[in-house]
Amino acid sequence: MRYSDLGNGLKDSGLGELLALAGKPEMYNFSSGFPAEELFPLKELEQVNRAILQKEGKQAVQYGSSAGYLPLREQIAARMNKIFHADCSAEQIFITSGSQQGLSLLGQLFLDKDDVVLVESPTYLGAINAFQLCGPKFVEVPTDEQGIIPEALEEILRTTERVKMMYVIPEFQNPTGVTWTMERRRAVMEIVNRYDFPVLEDNPYGELRYDGETMPALKSMDTKGNVIFLGSFSKILMPGLRVGWIVAEPEILEKLNLLKQDVDLQCSSFAQRQVSYFMDMFDLDAHVIVLKERYRKRRTLLYDSIQKYFPAGVTATYPEGGLFLWVTLPEGMDAKALAPKATARKVAYGPGAPFYPNGGHGNHLRLNFSTMQEDRIVEGIQILGDLLLEELEG
Amino acid sequence: MRYSDLGNGLKDSGLGELLALAGKPEMYNFSSGFPAEELFPLKELEQVNRAILQKEGKQAVQYGSSAGYLPLREQIAARMNKIFHADCSAEQIFITSGSQQGLSLLGQLFLDKDDVVLVESPTYLGAINAFQLCGPKFVEVPTDEQGIIPEALEEILRTTERVKMMYVIPEFQNPTGVTWTMERRRAVMEIVNRYDFPVLEDNPYGELRYDGETMPALKSMDTKGNVIFLGSFSKILMPGLRVGWIVAEPEILEKLNLLKQDVDLQCSSFAQRQVSYFMDMFDLDAHVIVLKERYRKRRTLLYDSIQKYFPAGVTATYPEGGLFLWVTLPEGMDAKALAPKATARKVAYGPGAPFYPNGGHGNHLRLNFSTMQEDRIVEGIQILGDLLLEELEG
């Protein structure tokens, strides 16, 4: 078959295989980002499904709006105000099939081949892959434990042509778990408003904070309509419904609406109502509190087990929320090369290199703590710690 | 905002506005392609929803496979064999968010800017829009009441460079309602196999045949893996679930799988099970028979009303199935210019010009017969007939 350049560029990274392996029940799975399925509100969902058919019936399975089910857009606007202090209305909310579709639509909307997209270094692999379809150049902005470094960002903007947009995850970043400080948020937004370019603020984990106070979203500090916020119900409710959202200016929503009609018409009418009715009939905030209690425990247990079982010279971030922490091995060690040895001992993790779009940085790995039961977290880290020790002493 | 070329190219065709207007309850709506919602199997769906949660629970709302829910892929493979005589297995079935997503993914996979895509003249507007995102050239292959004209196709292939794929709807075409004869199918497949290029066979209405015998799909005559078949549950079950499928060689499925991960990860886990459980628990064939009885009646009523109320010089196709028929006005009349006068009398139809990717052909219009109750079909055609008569005499 003669594919397009895009088609020819689609290569299997092997990550799919790793994820499939990691998903086997006997594995200690630190590799995926699955939410804890034992906490899915299934009884509530059964009531929700009945109510949808009783109240709306045929409308719930007929064609609907490309921008999304209006009551859901209204509920999300209210939630954006309440949780993220971002003042917006339903006219600025666009429903997507999870955040992943938001990333892909926004990439298509802004990026031509060889345009520059700025990303944190490292950044979310799914965003790299979504943008990659447009053939851009990735410029990695240096980050530290407080977020993106504003001076480095400004230097890049001053010296780089064709910067079309920036993609960031200020809350509990994937993969590092880092959260931007207030100071950094202010400094970055000052630069963004001066240089005037779109910033994609990806925030799938923002509500899952285990310590400290909620920080204002970049969107809440946006006075010029430059920030485009991406949210998702995957981590706070259920990922398999595939419901996420974009907050953006109406001008951008018009474009998204036309693009969505061309790529898949609309999201599932029924799935959108499942989310909307759940929020109407039950207390999503109370559900998030249950998730936070469980994940807080797992986060702390993972971090403490690392302190206890990992050898000296291996460091880990302490995430205040989200689903991941980030491990740095001594320079020269290769987390990808080590992965088969770990899987032979039934431990799966995410090698760090793919999170750097321009390569390098082989000595990192990402660990997830939302998926596994507590005892298995401790056992898995003990096994991985033994392996790391052997490698270092080897 | 500085958009990409693709973003700048997204222009509102005004069709969205027309569809919104057509959807108002007081309108005689011949314009959209909505299935009859009074026939949605909602009682069955309630049982389906309960069974999904009872049997699978959390798996039904967790992340799942990008290629789709395996039991559904198996059911579709069996149905492809049974209904369309196309011998295939689950490894060749890929689940999409409706056919529209299939069109968009396949466009991305095959079309670079300025590549040539062959289409019937006229062809489905949603396909034009999906492919348009890749910036191809559309070459329209002449068609008549028997389908694509093989001699014209061969002449184009002989004289045109960069032909990357062909897109066709051999069954009850949208917009014309035309079905390819057996002879044409054989002749076209002979040419396709000789020139060796991918053919997208879009078949959303294939099961909705009201007269005559089912014809073998091009896919069933495909000996070289050139035909990629697109199917959908939108018209035979419920469109709002957004479940369609692609049948293609495993090599192409691998590419689709990688692309789907980048664009939206997967289709709704729950919606896929809604379709799968429905087919397991109920008789989809029996449901299709109910639809066919209703739609046959409406098709015949629409056609007969046209014969009765439309002035001489206006002709209509007689579709053996599907949802649409195609009206040709006398040369020089402009269906788009006439549309506001029709909507002023509460009649909405689809102007034909947008179905020709290279423009022209203003004297056609598309009429749908699946959406409205019988009495309103007759009333609406009488009103439209009066308007056409006034215009012709005016």
Mean pLDDT of B257-262: 96
For residue A16, what pLDDT is reported?
Answer: 72
Question: How do the domains of chain B map onto residue ranges?
Answer: 5-41+286-393, 62-281
pLDDT one-digit tens code per residue, A302-330: 999 999 999 999 999 999 999 999 999 99
B11 pLDDT more than 90: no
pLDDT tier, B345 (very low <50, low <70, confident <90, very high otherwise):
very high
Average pLDDT (A134-158) is: 98
Q: Are strands A350-351 and A163-168 parallel, antiparallel or unpaired?
A: unpaired
Is the pLDDT at A14 greater than 80, yes or no? no
pLDDT score of B344 more than 80:
yes
Cα dist. B145→B79, B128, B181, B228 in Å?
28, 21, 9, 24
**Would you call B371 an interface residue with chain A, using a CB distance cutoff of 8 Å?**
no
Contacts of residue B308, defined as CB under 8 A and 6 or more positions apart, other chains included, come to B381, B385
Considering only residues A343 and A21, tell me which one the structure prediction assigns the higher pLDDT.
A343
Strand partners, B118: B139, B166
Mean pLDDT of A4-20: 84
Confidence grade of residue A21 (pLDDT, cut at 50, 70, 90): confident
Contacts of A240 in chain B (CB under 8 A): 60-64, 268-270
In this structure, which amino acid lies at residue A114?
D
Q: Is A233 on the interface with B (CB under 8 A)?
A: no
Question: How large is the average pLDDT for residues B294-298?
Answer: 98
- Taking contacts as CB-CB distances below 8 angstroms, the residues of chain B near A238 are 61-62
pLDDT tens digits for range A160-201: 999 999 999 999 999 999 999 999 999 999 999 999 999 999
- What average pLDDT does range B60-64 have in this prediction? 95
Tell me whether residues A263 and B263 touch, CB distance under 8 A: yes
User: What pLDDT is recorded for position A19?
Assistant: 73
Minimal C-alpha gap between B283 and chain A (Å): 19
Sign of CA dihedral B180, B183, B184, B185: positive
State the pLDDT at residue B88. 94
CATH architecture of A5-41+286-393: Alpha-Beta Complex (3.90)
pLDDT at site A24? 87
What average pLDDT score do residues B102-124 get?
98
- Determine whether domain B62-281 maps to CATH 3.40.640.10: yes
Q: Residue range B213-225: average pLDDT?
A: 94
Mean pLDDT of A274-284: 98
Contact of B47 with B40, CB cutoff 8 Å: no
State how far the Cα of B189 lies from the Cα of B223, in Å rounded to an integer. Answer: 9
Instruction: List, for residues B14-58, the tens digit of each pLDDT value.
Output: 767 777 788 888 999 999 889 999 999 999 999 999 999 999 999
pLDDT of residue B23: 81
Contact A321, A2 (CB under 8 A): no
Check if the beta carbon of residue B209 is closer than 8 Å to that of residue B292: yes
Helix, strand, or coil here: B171?
coil
For CA atoms B129, B135, B136, B142, the dihedral sign is positive
B185-211 pLDDT per residue, tens:
999 999 999 999 999 999 999 999 999
pLDDT digits (tens, 9 = 90+) for B150-164: 999 999 999 999 999
Are B233 and B243 in contact by the 8 Å Cβ rule? The answer is yes
Closest partner CB to B46 (pick from A50, A255, A267): A50
pLDDT above 90 covers what percent of chain B?
Answer: 94
Q: What is the mean pLDDT of chain A?
A: 96
Confidence of residue A20 (pLDDT cuts 50, 70, 90): confident
Q: Would you call A3 an interface residue with chain B, using a CB distance cutoff of 8 Å?
A: yes
ipTM over 0.90: yes
Q: Give the pLDDT confidence score for residue B20 in this predicted structure.
A: 78
Identity of residue B370:
S
User: Quick check: B63 and A1 CB within 8 A?
Assistant: no
> Which chain A residue's Cα is nearest to B113?
A4
C-alpha dist (Å) from residue B112 to A8, A105, A134, B115, B129: 11, 18, 12, 5, 15
Residues from chain A contacting residue B5 (CB–CB below 8 Å): 112
| B interface test, pick of A48, A61, A192, A274 with most B CB neighbours within 10 Å | A61
